[in-house]
Structure 1
Amino acid sequence: MKKTANIHDPSFKDTFSRRTFLSGGAAAFSGMVVAPHLVRGATANGKIAVGMIGCGGRGGWIANHFKAHGGYEITACADYFQDKVDAFGEKHGIDASRRFTGLNGYKKLLECGNLDAVIIKSPPCFHPQQIADAVDAGKHVYAAKPVAVDAPGCRTVAESGKRATKNKQVVFVDFQHRNDPFLQETVKRLHEGVLGKITFGEAFNHSGECGVKPGPDTPETRLKNWLLYKALSGDYMVEINIHSVDMMHWMMQKPPLSAIGSGGRTSKSPVGDNWDYLGVLYQYANDVPVTFTSKRYNDGAGEQDKHQIVELYGTDGRLHTKYAGRCMILGRNPYKGGKTTTLYRDGAVANIALFHTAVTTGDYSNSTVEYGVESNLIAIMGRTAGYEKRLVTWDEILKSDDRMDLKLDGLKA
């Protein structure tokens, strides 16, 4: 089997240049002829037939990029809300018989013929079961992060990834920042030792408050505002901060030994229960502490100087990285670096191309699942330490059986 380039390897810059990345060069993979033995139900035109699970804002946005790639055809869709499914279906020419609603609508989608893969862009609380069911149905899976809101969910996803590899299926977790060539080079140099002995680190994800979708006090309105509820989103620490957490994990290579934290909620809104500020001290091996601070309230000062940033300090220099911003190294071994300002789009486009390549070439290594799950658990570790205001160890999180109560009573199946 021909080995394909792995963009998630920091050394991938040697085969995937910045110019190629920023010019949409990932589209070079589009239009590939799909080998019939690798994609069981491929469409007559050789495209990968995909179904969308979760037709809201992010699902609708990324569907456009799947379509633009040229190697996919969207043939089915599912969402809890009828209006979302119909708007999505009309836009992408999906027959009404292949549009499904309700909490279990995705199960009907999985039973559709002419379907090779699913894109999962539903609220994170649903991801573990949806990924597991999709793998059991023989589908390839492209999933949003985070993959779960609790440790048992993370274990379910890890098991699904292993099962998919055994069954020759692809499960891909969508992190855009691992495609940033400047971040890749920065991490590569870090791992080569340019900072000397790492002494400590700092990570930030500061932003304003999230908007509320108005409506009556019903289960449907709660589901529409899933991002604001800890049980549905995992809290901001998991749903949003996982970007910075994964950057930190990529750099540190191993999970922290423990975490301790504190925080709270300033918002007086009756909608949601997420904490809107949190501070965590992650303790790594070799006496390396990394502080992580998060805020999601408006303070009038602006947030861009502290938005999705990870910095590491060593005896020979300092590393600075920012999502869609400047990545560089200062000190005895400097790296000027640069920034990919369109990373949100370009990272997704590159991942869509990588997913296509994995499916069509039979790359079932599913490496994104491993770090997707580990970063998810590190975020849950920080959330637990903060909410419970105590020391939490990595071993404790790995063994945790604490499950979120989704409170889905009153919603239609």
Structure 2
Amino acid sequence: MKHSRRDFLRSATTLAAGAGLVSALPSDLQALPLKTIAASDRVNIAAIGINGMGWSDLTAMLKHPAAQCVALCDVDRNVLDKRVAELSQQGIKVKAYTDYRKLLEDKSIDAVIIGTPDHWHCLQMTDACAAGKDVYVEKPVGNSIAECRTMTAAQQRYHRAVQVGQWQRSQQHFKDAVSFVHSGKLGQIRLVKAWAYMGWMKSIPVKPDSTPPSGVDYKAWLGPARERPFNENRFHFNFRWYWDYAGGLMTDWGVHLLDYALLGMKAETPRSIMAAGGKFAYPDDAAETPDTLTTVYEFDGFNIQWEQAQGIDGGPYARDHGIAFIGNNGTLVLDRGGWEVIPEKNKMEAVPRQKAVDNGLTLHAHNFIEVVKSRRMDDLHAPIQAGALIATTAQMGNIAFRTGKKIYWDKQAKQFTDTDANQLLAAGYHNGYKLPVIS
């Protein structure tokens, strides 16, 4: 699809046969106006990193009638072959790549999904934008504050549509809850709590280094991360618990929940951050990132508090995750299942639980495709600027923990007032890779 043709593609359209659909049109999208799509007007999608969320994102995207998958990429040939076969069973034939740079050379590809580990997001997103592709990038957008800045600059430089996988921004009950917060009915809000108590996250046993599995290009998997012997604990899902590749539960769940804390308070960067925690649940296991952490972000007139705990489910308000806006008149408690208001005595009426009614991931993917077609960047529900703000906020919490200090943010200088904290603004790049410079 040529860029000139995209400019006049405005409305949602449908074609059930041959459009690359994995499943029937979901209920979330059934109310859309229907008309037949010409093959030349479809959006050609490729996915880079397809073992976990990358595959979920692609599956959701293919529910949109204009989306068509044409290519997959993964450095693990076992995963790649499995996904190619799964699409083939649906009648979808795709090209298969193990090098994402080769995929980006394909002029027929309009947009890419980036579902790789966090330490690859920045390089792949900036390369994709430079290649003229629109991008749906998984959260957190970057593995450092410096990467977040670079990714925002790349979107502005190349004028691409970039959606971040903060899919809760497309879910109606989250929007309704924030609207209630903004109504002022809760009174002055002095504290917002966000938390993730993940009982299903068990200890990771220590394992010896080994040779990479057959079919895995481990050098390509490491990319800009420091060179280390292959270890099963650091591969696939568990990469999240190692500083080389990610930021633990803070950047895994924190970016989702703190995002809505910031939205509710119309907040940007905090004045100060302090954090305390550690490996309290599993002190001797293989993970590096803390399994228990409390972080306090100071803003003018209110604080936001983040709590995380692996191995237990007993979070605040009897929920294993959520956001609580604590006001003088009452408290609004929000999670993925719904929201409610718990009143202070004689201050306001309770609001019974308002349950979730839609599929946020499906709607988020649909929103991205619509913007790829319309070129109306302001319609994106989670543009790169929003994703960069929340990823930066989460990184600030991790930096406060890693330095062991209360740290202060200089908004004008865009750095901390502490030298040790500033040393962690950028992730180290190794193996010949460099952080892109966007001019």
2:407 corresponds to 1:392: yes
SS in 1 for 2:410: helix
What residue is the counterpart of 1:184 in the other structure? Answer: 175
Following superposition, the deviation at residue 398 of structure 1 comes to 3.5
Structure 1 residues 336 and 390, CA gap change in structure 2 (3 angstroms):
same
Q: Which residue of structure 2 aligns with residue 219 of structure 1?
A: 230
Q: CA, structure 1 residues 314+211, in 2 after alignment: closer, same or farther (shift >3 Å)?
A: same
- 1:98-137 aligned at under 5 Å gives the runs 98-101=95-98, 105-137=99-131
Determine the C-alpha separation between the residues in 2 that align with 1:174 and 1:67.
Answer: 15
| 1:161 CA drift (Å) | 2.5
1:230 Cα deviation from its structure 2 partner:
2.2
In the TM superposition, residue 354 of structure 1 has moved relative to its aligned partner by: 0.5
Aligned residues: 373
Structure 2 unaligned regions, length at least 5: 1-6, 12-25, 211-228, 416-421, 433-439
* 1:318 is aligned to 2:331: yes
Asked if the contact 1:27–1:353 (Cα under 8 Å) also holds between the matched residues in 2, the reply is no
- Match of 1:368? 383
Cα distance change of structure 1 residues 390 and 306 upon mapping to structure 2, 3 Å threshold: farther
User: What SS does the corresponding residue of 1:254 show, helix, strand or coil?
Assistant: coil
Matched letter for residue 259 of structure 1: I
1:27-46 → structure 2 map (5 Å cutoff):
27-28=30-31, 44-46=39-41
- The yes-or-no answer on 1:84 pairing with 2:100 is no
1:324–1:151 Cα change, 3 Å: same
Structure 1 residue 171 and structure 2 residue 171: aligned? no
2:142 is paired with a residue of what secondary structure?
A: coil
User: Hey, what's the Cα distance between the residues in 1 that align with 2:103 and 2:338?
Assistant: 39
Question: 1:250 deviation in Å?
Answer: 0.9
Q: Quote the residue 1:50 is aligned against.
A: 45
What amino acid does structure 2 have at the position aligned with 1:158? T
Counterpart of 1:112, as a letter, is D
- Which of 229, 236, 240 aligns to 2:253? It is 240
Deviation track 1:173-209 (CA, whole Å, cap 9, x = no partner) reads 1212222322212211221211222222222111122
Give 1:63 deviation, angstroms.
2.2
Amino acid at match of 2:96: R
Check whether the contact 1:124–1:146 (CA below 8 A) recurs between aligned residues.
yes
Of 259, 262, 281, the residue aligned with 2:276 is 262
TM-score by length of 2: 0.76
User: 1:14 maps to what in 2?
Assistant: none
Paired letter, 1:162: Q
* Maintained 8 Å contact 1:120/1:144: yes
Which residue is 2:224 aligned to? none
Relative to structure 1, the CA distance from residue 302 to residue 197 in structure 2 (aligned partners, 3 Å threshold; closer, same or farther) is closer
Shift of 1:235: 2.0
Task: Work out the CA distance in 2 between the residues paired with 1:121 and 1:310.
Answer: 26
* Equivalent AA in structure 2 for residue 332 of structure 1: M
Distance 1:145 1:235 in 2: 12
After alignment, is 197-206 or 361-370 more displaced? Answer: 361-370
Q: Do residues 25 (structure 1) and 28 (structure 2) align?
A: yes
Counterparts of 2:209 and 2:140 in 1: how far apart (Å)? 28
Unaligned 5+ segments in structure 1 are 6-22, 35-42
Q: 1:269 to 1:47 in 2, by over 3 A?
A: farther
Structure 1 residues 351, 301: CA separation in 2 closer, same or farther (over 3 Å shift)?
Answer: closer
CA RMSD of aligned residues (A): 3.2
2:283 and 2:35 map into 1 onto residues whose CA distance is 52
Distance 1:32 1:300 in 2: 47
